Amino acid sequence: SSELTQDPAVSVALGQTGRITCQGDSLRSYYASWYQQKPGQAPVLVIFGKNNRPSGIPDRFSGSSSGNTASLTITGAQAEDEADYYCNSRDSSGNHYVFGTGTKVTVL
């Protein structure tokens, strides 16, 4: 089955731009989705598809994809964006899904 690799940690200054990447072979076939998880809470979908945000997700969150890499960008990071972020994709081998290793985002 596929694996999705993320950097363990990313720091971004308040109000600045930060990017999280997710690499894996399955991303050549399927778009990634991105989830934000704050301590003690369930994950929340923030980006899906080419670059789509669910209702209620601020437009400072955006997504992009190229080859085997998907990216989540936070433009104008806020203190409340500090959280763990996970990518997810359907596995190329069938009706399986895989989560990335997760990235802890710190807003300085």
Partner 1 sequence: EVQLVQSGAEVKKPGESLKISCKGSGYSFSSYWVAWVRQMPGKGLEWMGIIYPRDSDTTYSPSFQGHVTISADRSISTAYLQWSSLKASDTAMYYCARLRESFGGVTYYFDSWGQGTLVTVSS
Residue closer to partner 1 (CB basis): 71 or 88: 88
Enumerate residues 8-37 that contact partner 1 by CB under 8 A: 29-31, 33, 35, 37
CB under 8 A: which stretch of 9-17, 68-76, 91-99 binds partner 1? 91-99
Nearest approach, Cβ of 94 to partner 1 (angstroms)? 7
For residue 51, the 8-state DSSP code is T
Burial bucket for residue 8 (CB in 10 Å: 0-12, 13-18, 19+): exposed
* Segment 42 to 61, residues that bind partner 1, using CB under 8 A: 42-45, 48-50, 54
Within 8 A by CB and 6+ apart from 34, the residues are 20, 22, 45, 46, 47, 48, 61, 63, 70, 72, 85, 86, 87, 88
66 binds partner 1 (CB under 8 A): no
Q: What is the 3-state secondary structure (H, E, C) of 1-18?
A: CCCEEECCEEEECCCCEE
Residue ranges in contact with partner 1 by CB under 8 A = 1, 29-31, 33, 35, 37, 42-45, 48-50, 54, 84, 86, 88-90, 94-102
